[in-house]
Amino acid sequence: MTRQGRILFVTPLFIQAPELSGIKGLLHGFSRRSLSDGHVLDLGRDASPALWAKVAAELGSPGAGIAMVSQVHGSSVIVAEGAGILGEADALITRQRGLLLAIRTADCVPVLVVGHDGEIAAIHAGWRGIAAGVIPAALSAMAAPKHAVVGPCISAAAYQVGEEVIDGIVAAGVPASVVADRSYGARPHADLKAAARWQLAQSGVSVEVLPHCTFRDGDLHSYRRDGVRSGRLAAVIGWCP
């Protein structure tokens, strides 16, 4: 699979971004829905330690600790110094080697960021998080963010919303022309990828946007498509020990 002539790397468990894959010692991936044996990979709240250990091993860091948060669709950022559920927030930052950062999605936007001096971040941004400013909050908490990847999330074509969604994101400073797609009929569609990319670009980072739509790709979890039956994807980033 390619985008603008570049290979999108796919492992049995993960989709990986070309730019991040070229950074020595950096581990990252956006999980897929299905395992090679046909079983569903669900990395939601009830995922077992053994399953997360499989994630770490697949990324090339067996035994690594994984830092996560209880996601609340807000703008809080936590600096991770160890593994576990570190509190209520929607973004994690660390410089610790051998520690993986993970956020979970099922249509929301996952963003992975690499900065100078080994600083990395993982951000969960649904429309409420974009409206709350979680992306600029996380970037502001980093010393020098450099490159960001917007991972698989719901596409504008599949995301019809009420006007309150557009209004909320516009109130955060994102131009209506960026987030609101009104080409589908009377009700608007929200382009979360474009809104996230716009917020990232305002901080001067280079931005890579992966093309995958969670709703339309059957190998990705989607809450809007599957409702309460939906599992959760994970976006993971860390440095080799």
- DSSP bridge partners of 28: 237
Distance of CA 97 to the CA centre of its chain: 20
**Within 13 Å, how many C-alpha atoms sit on residue 231's CB side?**
17
Average pLDDT, the chain: 92
Element (H, E) at 33: none
Flag whether pLDDT at 12 surpasses 80: no
The ranges assigned to domains in the chain are 2-239
Write out pLDDT tens, residues 43-69: 998 999 999 998 999 898 998 999 999
| In the chain, % of residues over pLDDT 70 | 94
Query: How far is Cα 93 from Cα 79, in angstroms, rounded to an integer?
Result: 5
- The residues near 24 (Cβ < 8 Å, ≥ 6 apart) are none
Contact by Cβ (8 Å): 24, 18: no
CA distances from 110 to 62, 93, 101, 212 (A): 23, 14, 12, 12
Flag whether pLDDT at 2 surpasses 80: no
**Among 10-14, 53-57, 214-218, which range has the highest average pLDDT?**
214-218
Residue position matching structure tokens 């498509």: 225
Q: What's the predicted TM-score (pTM) here?
A: 0.93
Taking domain 2-239, whether its CATH number is 3.60.140.10 is answered by yes
